[in-house]
Amino acid sequence: MRDEASEGVTLSRRSILIAAAASLAVPHASGAQDSWPPVFEAGRSQFTLVRPRVAMPQLRLQDLHGRDTVVTAKPGRVTLVNFWATWCAACKLDLPMLASLAASRPDRLDIVAICTDTKDLRKIRAFLGGLAVQNLACYVDAYGAAARASTEMFSNVGMPITYLVGTDGRVEGYIAGAPDWLSPAGARLLQFYRERD
């Protein structure tokens, strides 16, 4: 009889401890989910948060026809700002991926691809001509606006590098290399920032 009673006490203590641990874990998990983006990786790189968050500046650029344009984040939309170069081997993988992403979500996402190594429009058009990038908005840093912004807020830690700007127009983070934006992990990251306000 005594053994049954002590076993009952042990079971109820264990039950209480398990229930307490579960109740502590649930709020922490949901809080973490609300404040931290999902993991998104590309090779040896992963999406890295930028703190403090700063507003994306207006960038005075040229399009591939030599026309001046001002590029900025649109309120309520996620913007990917990609820096690439014609000498960059990984850019040959990254730019077509971004073009496919742009084609798959034209109403929910803006993508800006900025060539940083040359102002020679013929060279840039020839480079892009060998890639499937018809749906991608490509620009040239003809006035050094992107270069200035990259020293102030977009630190180029690798090439290519893509910055994610949230719906409030602030730079949230970056990933270097050629990540698969169409993967489930890429979709989760974009969804996380689309739903965040």
- The per-residue pLDDT string of the chain (197 residues; one tens digit each, 9 = 90 and over) reads 444 444 443 334 433 333 333 333 333 333 344 578 888 877 778 999 988 888 988 899 999 999 999 999 988 999 999 999 999 999 999 999 999 999 887 777 999 999 988 889 999 999 999 897 887 899 998 888 777 776 666 666 678 999 999 999 999 999 999 999 999 999 999 999 988 75
Structure-token pair, residue 108: 């929910």
Phi, psi (degrees; rounded to nearest 5) at 69:
-150, 150
- What are the beta bridge partners of residue 137? 112
Let me know: does 130 contact 163? Beta carbons within 8 Å.
Answer: no
Q: Please name the helix (run of DSSP H) or strand (run of DSSP E) that holds residue 170, with its range, or none.
A: none
DSSP string, 4-38: HHHHHHHHHHHHHHHHHHHHHHHHHHHHHHHHSPP
Encoded tokens for 117: 């190594």
The full length of the chain comes to: 197
Task: Specify the residue for token string 């013929």.
Answer: 122
Cα 63 to Cα 144: distance, rounded to the nearest angstrom: 14
* DSSP state string for 118-149: ---HHHHHHHHHTS--TT-EEEE-TTSHHHHH
pLDDT value of position 9:
37
Query: pLDDT at position 38, please?
Result: 83
- List C-alpha distances in Å: 79 to 13, 38, 82, 158, 172: 52, 17, 10, 19, 10
How far, in whole angstroms, is CA 83 from its chain's centroid? 13
pLDDT for residue 28: 31
Strand partners, 71: 59
pLDDT for the residue numbered 66 = 92
Taking the model in full, what pTM does it have? 0.78
Determine the pLDDT at residue 54.
87
What is the model's pLDDT at position 25? 31
User: Quick one: pLDDT at residue 157?
Assistant: 67
| pLDDT at site 195 | 85
* Res 29: pLDDT: 34
* Fold type of domain 41-195: Glutaredoxin (3.40.30)
Domain regions of the chain by residue span: 1-36, 41-195
| Amino acid identity at 20 | A
